[in-house]
Structure 1
Amino acid sequence: MNEPQNWWQNLLEQIKLYSRRLGAFLKKQGIALSAFLRKKFGQINFSRDWRFNVDVGLQTLRRLVLYFMSFLFILGALVLGLGLGYFSGLMSHEKVPSYNSMKRQIENINQSSELYFAKDVKLASVKSDLIRTQTKSGQISANLKKAIVATEDEDYYNHAGVVPKSLVRAVLADVTGLGTQTGGSTLTQQLVKMQLLSSETTWRRKAVEIMLALRIDKYFSKDQILESYLNVATFGRNNAGQNIAGVETAAQGLFGTSAAKLSLAQAAFIAGLPQSPSIYTPYRQDGTVKKDLTYSMKRKDVVLFRMYRHGDITKKAYEDAKKVDLRSQFQKPTTASTSTTKYGYMYNLLMSEAREILIKQLIKQNGRSVSKVEKDTQLYNRYWESADELLKQKGYRIDSTVNKDLYDQLESVTKTASVNFGQTYTETAYDDNLKKEVTITEKVQPGSVVLDNSTGAVLAFVGGQDFNENQINHAFSTKRSPGSSIKPLMIYGPAIENQVINSQTALADFPRAFGNYKPSDYGSTIQNRFVPTTEALEWSYNLPAVNLYYHLRNNTRVDVSTYMKKMGLDLTTDEYSQLGLALGGTKEGFTVEQNAAAFATFANQGSYLKPYVINKITAPNGSVIYQHKTKKTKVFSASTSYIMQEMLKKVVSAGTAANLSWQLNFNTSNVYGKTGTTNDYRDNWFVGSTPGITMATWLGYDNFYGNVHNLSSNASTINTTYWAQLANAIYQQDASLLKLNQTTSKPDNVQTHTVLANTGTNSGTVSYQGQSIAVTGNRVSALFNNHGPSNISAQFGIGGTAADYKLFFDYLQGIKNNYGVILHLDANGDVIESSTSTTDETETEDEENEEETAGNEENEDETTDPENENGANSSSTSSSSSTANSSSNTSSSANSSSTVTPETPATP
């Protein structure tokens, strides 16, 4: 950091010089004043005492002036010292760039940033609306070089990179707000700003600019610096309407000639453009010449005058060049060539993520609060534009986590699988922006995200069917109601964590009204029995989930929102107050990325990892300005996560995603997941994990212009099949990612006990309505989170009413009733019929398969209104699956926040 020394010494010498001049001036004026007074008083017949008093007064005045001058000097020295200290403080942590680093940056005209897949595989260069062509100094007109110097920096060949008096003038202008057009930047400083720094306007950036300008001037010749400047400066638009930079591009784009062959008038015109390219450029955005070129031509004349004043041209040359009709020499309009990006979803995602990172860095560099700036739309937009400019013009490198080969494989699978996603609709709609009827095509869109469980890195994703047809990224940009995929995260996970349930706790699935809200299982059915927790999750029954959520909110006071927030899922207080939320009814919902990351918490022993797609960002000088750091947020205990994994494995082995077990090309013993379907089959989800990865898939329509298109009733089977195809592709590409042979060790706090299959408790005798009833029966293994089974009691389950328990105990004593008989409800939620009980544990596998193929589809509810994909002002019910061994569900509602529709259980 020794480069600034000569400049500061120069500045000190100038201050001393100005101080001496000021002192001499004041002294001279004091002597003149004294002589004047003596002369005047001398003309009067004063006594000697009066003359003596005048002399004393003059001496006193002179001393006061000297004292004032000394004070000014000391004050100036103090200000200078503070300035030097401030400058040193700003520079103390600034890395001094090497010669090679500076050379690479100032000579690099390809300033677009570069985007990379993982493993150093290039994706693309950032599209820039700025085009430029490099040329050597010897191929640039001497007139153009002289014009630039005379206009932008007339003392260019004499200073050391900065001009102290210009800096002082610029600082005063900035502080006082007066004379803001005085400038202060030399050509060297302008080159530094364009090639080495961002466009922020902080004192720190200005200090760095000064340091770099001094360093560049020391290591590079004036001709090298000028050549680099002329290759990167912006010059408005060309005749194709493109933004241009570099004098060769400007010469060709404006006059159809090379920079070496420019006439004096043409050179002066181009030299005048950098001050304000958008105002002085002769071309519009469509490539046509502006009608009014008054400002442009006046600017050209100003440049010519400065060249004349600077001694670069004669007066005759000056006068002749002013008379040249340049309008007739401008190029005729043409059309710019267009280019397409192969990886559209990937390109846009990386640009968006990188821009957000740079925005936050710029805000923090300016000492502002990110959260406060985000609330100020106008201010935030300015930072957005600055970050966008950095990416397009400053040559950053963005390295992502996405594996190109894996990405390509998922794209290929999606293209093949999309023929089975559902119907395509073509229709007309009125576009308010275009003010006309437009033809739109609505396809079922997929969204998928593959996460590395151990890091949160996005390994691959699917943004949609075809980027050229639909640019919406359905994996990261759209929020949809999660349906029953929310149940493990918001209900069962917190319940196990707080020892409210074990894996076999009995949950009520009987007709029940919560005010006007009457939830049901799929197909407006009710199981009419106590259902074990694992089975309720396996078949995604709705009533047990609603009863458990009600119990958590009102009896245990477990705040489920704390768990959701830790997993990056933000919902409103109003949403949490709606029981329909237990079935996935939300106003906006979650992105596929959010749902996948939250579900991956179970794979990480209860720790949430925020997903990320950018690994690092490297600045043009080679320094890494951003490096992702994995941060874990503890949500659940390892024991809760283990129990949830074991329960969710049943979904894949026998429940609503059972078709995975025969469609996957690998051992599924360590695969677990959860299905989810929203009302009227609006959205369908499957989120699944192996020990190595978590992958979420979503299917649905965008429903542009208020259209209402829904998936088919077998959407759940279609989606799990699609998930299996993607998983098989990953397995084929790199089986090690899945870590299929890795098993989760059973934590010490997980206790295994045998409990009664029908109560989830120990066996024993219950006093019920004056009778002692022995409660026994088949026993099953249950998992507990650091506690043991409770003893049997008259109210052993969660959510049951007195009538429900009476039905159970009567049935237990051999009294014939409809316990375990599936009930069917009408539109009002009233029982209309019943079907044969399916609770008989001797039911054969053939009977189960027959029921499944008969269309027992699981249906999962959300709180969104069918007419409003965002779920605002909606009301709903939910549904879930049917029998003890196979089932489906739907719901009807009056007072919840949404009606949710089923998902179809997989049919082997």
Structure 2
Amino acid sequence: MEVLKSTIYFFLAIFFLGGSLALGVVLGYFANLVESTEIPSGDEIVRAINDIELVSHVNYSNGEQIAELRSDLIRTRVSKENVSPLIKQALIATEDEYFNKHEGIVPKALIRAMVSDITGFGGKSGGSTITQQLVKQQLLTDEVSFHRKANEVLLALRVEKFQTKEEILTAYLNVSPFGRNNKGQNIAGVEEAARGIFGKPSNEVNLPQAAFIAGLPQSPIIYSPYTNTGELKEDLSDGLTRKDAVLSNMYREKYIDEKTYEEAKNYDLKADFLPREEINQPDNGYLYYYVETQAIEALMAKHYQKDQLEKEKVFSQDILYEKYYQMAERDLRRNGYTVETTIDKNIYQAMNNAVMNNAGWLEDWSGDPIQIGSILMENQTGRILGFVGGRDYATNQNNHAFQTKRSPGSTMKPIVAYAPAIDKGLIGSESQLADFKRKYGSENTNLSNYGGTSSESFISVRNAIKDSGNITVVNLYEKLLESANPAEYFNKMNIDISASVTHPSLPLGTTDLSVYQQINAYQTLANKGAYLEGYVISKITDSNGEVVYEHKANPVQVFQPATASIMADLMREVLVNGTGTTAKSSLYNYGAALGNADWVGKTGTSEEDKDFWFTASTPGVTLSTWIGKSYGKQMPQSFGQNNMRVWAAIAGAAYQISPDIFQTAQRFELDPSVNIAKVSSITGTKMGPAYINGIQYYTPGKEVNSYFVPGSGPIDPTLRFGIGGTDAQYQNYWNKNTKVEKKEDKKKPSSNRNQNDVDEEDEEDTEDEEDTEGEAGEE
């Protein structure tokens, strides 16, 4: 017996000595593994543990959801008060029975797991507490190594120091994967699990449902009841067996009694699984993707501003743009933002339905679809209320309202030539422009108006705009370039035309614009000359309701208010009795009030009828529409009229939804600063005598009002009373329209004479070549 005792004591001593030595070795090895680990502060720990990927949403202007922004993982954060105690109990009983007692790790479980990993005996023994699992998901990788495990232990102890048990458990329930929902989407967080599997919030589940959910994180895809398409699996045994194991654990840990356990175990959970549901796809791909891109670009600012960079530099350099775009996109994908847009749901749908309902106007039966882009913008704010990106996103993903850039044809004339010329005091509303055929471009092509015509006379600015003359506007633009740079106006409207600004043909549409760029320029004229950048993102808030982006209006006075009001007066004529009468008459189909509204606008047709445009404003809104084929192919000439009919249908549809935005009872009034002067309807100059080549003429025509910006006005009667043309053409015009009052001595001075008068020789220069590259014959 003594020998037996001695032997036992000997082996116990060896065991304890060996254990101490082994413990020392383990501790030393552990210290070596974590020696290089940076220990995060308490704030960093809390932030990292709760940094979870949340789903962002985009909404219409009324707060109704447009869509969820696509993510690989669907997650909704839930507070600790809104999780059923049954789920918490089931999780603790199954994943970490000592959760409420330990300080982050359970040593014996950890040692057991390590021995199992080293020896290969004992199977896969779970040694990780809920805290450790949370650390692994949020702070570490899935790497299988002693180094990673050592860091997991160290950080778990750190987490327990700065987070309560309730906070740790809630974080785990929010971040852990829970398989798939009935749409086939990967889900994370207990709230999405409850809603995506049983169709109820996580605080309303019953016991069997709670047990099923709590069992998912161990192997979420295997235990999930759904396939990747949202269909119920044919064999649900894995998940149901796991549910029974969780219930058994709850019974073992005395969270439930035997009767409750048996009832829950026998409960028919299959009947509670939701049937398959289609993913709620965006109602329109054009809307979804445009809003997504605009939201990302809005969020880029906080990143590049942090690096002290300006927007202009970032957006002009592809490398910088891509860098900050990716950073902002990551924010949007994972931070649970709510993106509020300016898009009115009903207006948006009405505009697109109007296109579908009037598709016949867009068919030429060539087999090559005619596309459309259209935008409705509020003048006083720049808010985009609705748009049409195209006819069918499934067949053509190019957003023709914002992405497509095409020749604007004659819609370029008011914004690049007439408005700047009026603004600079070069012309008034009744000033005269030469309309004689002339040489055009390097090949001496004959410049003429649409259809190859010209009046072979002088016509007023008002009539030139109304009839969309080409010769007149080229003459005007050449004169404008002598004293002004129209690009300065466009720079203020964020439109770059610098590459083509010196080409006399620019007013004919020889530089490409998008519908968005064009409508913003016309909005500027309709808003008393003040540019307000068109926008679709009004505000972005984070998951806590904090505003991370909000649109700020930044009005820029581009044109004088007098200029804008004069242009409105001139462009009114386009719809009343000019090239836009089809649009005006078609509006009456949608209500007399809409037809009688004060519409001002301009038509446009590019070379060879490849593009048709119409843009017009009321005091409240501006609506622009373009139609054309994807590869710039020619269309029937009559489609210019068709485009105006579709434009009117879109306007009518929006009007039926929201008539107030059109401000049909208001009119564009002349600004008080406008200089109203009496001029001749024939020359656009003051009335009175003119001495030409020693002969006194009396200014012909009747007296009419001409509108000028402050500081400018009509000139005295003179030979060259207008812009463009030759001396011979002016002399013939005088001879044709006036009578000689009396002959004067050629040497006699006249107070009305100037450098353009008699002293100039009567030149025959009608063959002068003009450097006007681009298209001719545009409307």
TM-score, normalization by structure 2: 0.68
Pair 1:692 & 2:620 matched: yes
Could you tell me how far apart the structure 2 residues matched to 1:659 and 1:124 are? 38
* Structure 1: gaps of 5 or more residues: 1-79, 91-95, 159-184, 195-209, 272-284, 288-334, 427-441, 816-892, 904-908
Deviations 1:125-174, CA, capped at 9 Å, x for gaps: 22222246999344448675599x9xxxx97369xxxxxxxxxxxxxxxx
- Select the residue among 439, 444, 448 that pairs with 2:370: 444
Counterpart position of 2:677: 753
Could you tell me how far apart the structure 2 residues matched to 1:804 and 1:669 are? 41
- Select the residue among 607, 610, 617 that pairs with 1:679: 607
Deviations 1:482-525, CA, capped at 9 Å, x for gaps: 11111111111111111110001010011222553542101122
Q: Using the TM superposition, give the Cα deviation of residue 894 of structure 1 relative to its aligned residue in structure 2, in angstroms.
A: 9.7
User: Closer, same or farther in 2 for the Cα pair 1:193/1:809, shift >3 Å?
Assistant: farther
User: Closer, same or farther in 2 for the Cα pair 1:217/1:386, shift >3 Å?
Assistant: farther
2:486 alignment partner AA: V
Could you tell me how far apart the structure 2 residues matched to 1:657 and 1:559 are? 29
- Select the residue among 144, 152, 156 that pairs with 2:104: 156
Q: Contact 2:433 / 2:461 at 8 angstroms: preserved in 1?
A: yes
Q: Secondary structure at the match of 1:576?
A: coil
Q: Using the TM superposition, give the Cα deviation of residue 526 of structure 1 relative to its aligned residue in structure 2, in angstroms.
A: 1.9
Counterpart position of 2:247: none
- Select the residue among 655, 664, 670 that pairs with 1:740: 664
Counterpart position of 2:653: 729
Matches within 5 A, 1:35-74: none
Could you tell me how far apart the structure 2 residues matched to 1:684 and 1:420 are? 13
Counterpart position of 1:229: 172
2:629 alignment partner AA: Y
2:734 alignment partner AA: F
- Select the residue among 873, 878, 897 that pairs with 2:773: 897
User: Closer, same or farther in 2 for the Cα pair 1:504/1:190, shift >3 Å?
Assistant: farther
Counterpart position of 2:304: 363
Q: Contact 1:141 / 1:259 at 8 angstroms: preserved in 2?
A: no
Could you tell me how far apart the structure 2 residues matched to 1:713 and 1:576 are? 28
Counterpart position of 2:6: none
Q: Using the TM superposition, give the Cα deviation of residue 420 of structure 1 relative to its aligned residue in structure 2, in angstroms.
A: 1.1
Deviations 1:518-568, CA, capped at 9 Å, x for gaps: 4210112221100100000011100110000000112xx111111111122
Counterpart position of 2:725: 800
- Select the residue among 484, 489, 496 that pairs with 1:570: 496
Q: Using the TM superposition, give the Cα deviation of residue 743 of structure 1 relative to its aligned residue in structure 2, in angstroms.
A: 3.0
Q: Contact 2:340 / 2:538 at 8 angstroms: preserved in 1?
A: yes
Could you tell me how far apart the structure 2 residues matched to 1:590 and 1:760 are? 33
Counterpart position of 1:791: 716
Counterpart position of 2:556: 633
Q: Contact 2:377 / 2:384 at 8 angstroms: preserved in 1?
A: yes
User: Closer, same or farther in 2 for the Cα pair 1:559/1:382, shift >3 Å?
Assistant: closer
Pair 1:116 & 2:59 matched: yes
User: Closer, same or farther in 2 for the Cα pair 1:141/1:748, shift >3 Å?
Assistant: closer
Counterpart position of 1:464: 390
Q: Using the TM superposition, give the Cα deviation of residue 697 of structure 1 relative to its aligned residue in structure 2, in angstroms.
A: 0.8
Deviations 1:242-298, CA, capped at 9 Å, x for gaps: 766469999x99xxx967568xxx95x889xxxxxxxxxxxxx999xxxxxxxxxxx
Q: Contact 2:700 / 2:737 at 8 angstroms: preserved in 1?
A: no
User: Closer, same or farther in 2 for the Cα pair 1:461/1:261, shift >3 Å?
Assistant: closer
User: Closer, same or farther in 2 for the Cα pair 1:261/1:123, shift >3 Å?
Assistant: closer
Q: Using the TM superposition, give the Cα deviation of residue 346 of structure 1 relative to its aligned residue in structure 2, in angstroms.
A: 1.4
Could you tell me how far apart the structure 2 residues matched to 1:376 and 1:236 are? 41
Counterpart position of 1:499: 425
TM-score, normalization by structure 1: 0.58
1:512 alignment partner AA: R
Q: Contact 1:141 / 1:261 at 8 angstroms: preserved in 2?
A: no
Deviations 1:622-670, CA, capped at 9 Å, x for gaps: 1011111111101111111111110110001110001233222325352
Q: Contact 1:360 / 1:370 at 8 angstroms: preserved in 2?
A: yes
Counterpart position of 2:326: 385
Deviations 1:558-586, CA, capped at 9 Å, x for gaps: 1111111112221133x112111121111
Q: Contact 1:677 / 1:901 at 8 angstroms: preserved in 2?
A: no
Q: Using the TM superposition, give the Cα deviation of residue 479 of structure 1 relative to its aligned residue in structure 2, in angstroms.
A: 1.3
Matches within 5 A, 1:513-592: 513-514=439-440, 516=442, 518-554=446-482, 557-573=483-499, 575-586=500-511, 589-592=512-515
Could you tell me how far apart the structure 2 residues matched to 1:400 and 1:783 are? 40
Q: Using the TM superposition, give the Cα deviation of residue 445 of structure 1 relative to its aligned residue in structure 2, in angstroms.
A: 1.1
Deviations 1:339-395, CA, capped at 9 Å, x for gaps: 532222211111111111112222323555555555664554343333223323321
2:547 alignment partner AA: V
User: Closer, same or farther in 2 for the Cα pair 1:785/1:228, shift >3 Å?
Assistant: same
Could you tell me how far apart the structure 2 residues matched to 1:374 and 1:777 are? 54
Pair 1:779 & 2:703 matched: yes
Could you tell me how far apart the structure 2 residues matched to 1:607 and 1:132 are? 44
Counterpart position of 1:609: 532
Tell me how many residue pairs correspond in the alignment: 590
Could you tell me how far apart the structure 1 residues matched to 2:516 and 2:560 are? 23
Counterpart position of 2:585: 662
Could you tell me how far apart the structure 2 residues matched to 1:769 and 1:901 are? 36
Q: Contact 2:684 / 2:714 at 8 angstroms: preserved in 1?
A: yes
Q: Secondary structure at the match of 1:729?
A: helix
Could you tell me how far apart the structure 2 residues matched to 1:594 and 1:247 are? 46
1:648 alignment partner AA: M
Q: Secondary structure at the match of 1:676?
A: strand
What is the root-mean-square deviation in Å for CA atoms of aligned residues?
Answer: 4.2
2:463 alignment partner AA: E
Matches within 5 A, 1:355-434: 355-374=296-315, 377=318, 380-426=321-367
User: Closer, same or farther in 2 for the Cα pair 1:397/1:669, shift >3 Å?
Assistant: closer
Counterpart position of 1:36: none
Q: Contact 1:483 / 1:900 at 8 angstroms: preserved in 2?
A: no
2:69 alignment partner AA: V
- Select the residue among 277, 284, 306 that pairs with 1:343: 284
Could you tell me how far apart the structure 2 residues matched to 1:713 and 1:514 are? 24
User: Closer, same or farther in 2 for the Cα pair 1:382/1:902, shift >3 Å?
Assistant: closer
User: Closer, same or farther in 2 for the Cα pair 1:616/1:502, shift >3 Å?
Assistant: same
- Identity over aligned pairs, percent: 32
Q: Contact 2:515 / 2:625 at 8 angstroms: preserved in 1?
A: yes
Pair 1:643 & 2:566 matched: yes
Q: Secondary structure at the match of 2:340?
A: strand
Q: Secondary structure at the match of 2:62?
A: helix
Could you tell me how far apart the structure 2 residues matched to 1:486 and 1:615 are? 29
Could you tell me how far apart the structure 1 residues matched to 2:132 and 2:776 are? 66
Could you tell me how far apart the structure 2 residues matched to 1:368 and 1:500 are? 40
Counterpart position of 2:435: 509
Deviations 1:800-848, CA, capped at 9 Å, x for gaps: 2122113212322589xxxxxxxxxxxxxxxxxxxxxxxxxxxxxxxxx
* Structure 2: gaps of 5 or more residues: 1-38, 107-130, 141-154, 198-210, 222-227, 231-275, 741-768
Deviates more, 1:500-509 or 1:663-672: 663-672
Counterpart position of 1:179: none
Could you tell me how far apart the structure 2 residues matched to 1:785 and 1:768 are? 29
Q: Contact 1:191 / 1:228 at 8 angstroms: preserved in 2?
A: no
Q: Contact 2:178 / 2:213 at 8 angstroms: preserved in 1?
A: no
Could you tell me how far apart the structure 2 residues matched to 1:648 and 1:443 are? 31
User: Closer, same or farther in 2 for the Cα pair 1:795/1:120, shift >3 Å?
Assistant: same
Could you tell me how far apart the structure 1 residues matched to 2:385 and 2:343 are? 4
Could you tell me how far apart the structure 1 residues matched to 2:314 and 2:179 are? 31
Could you tell me how far apart the structure 2 residues matched to 1:485 and 1:764 are? 36
Could you tell me how far apart the structure 2 residues matched to 1:797 and 1:602 are? 25
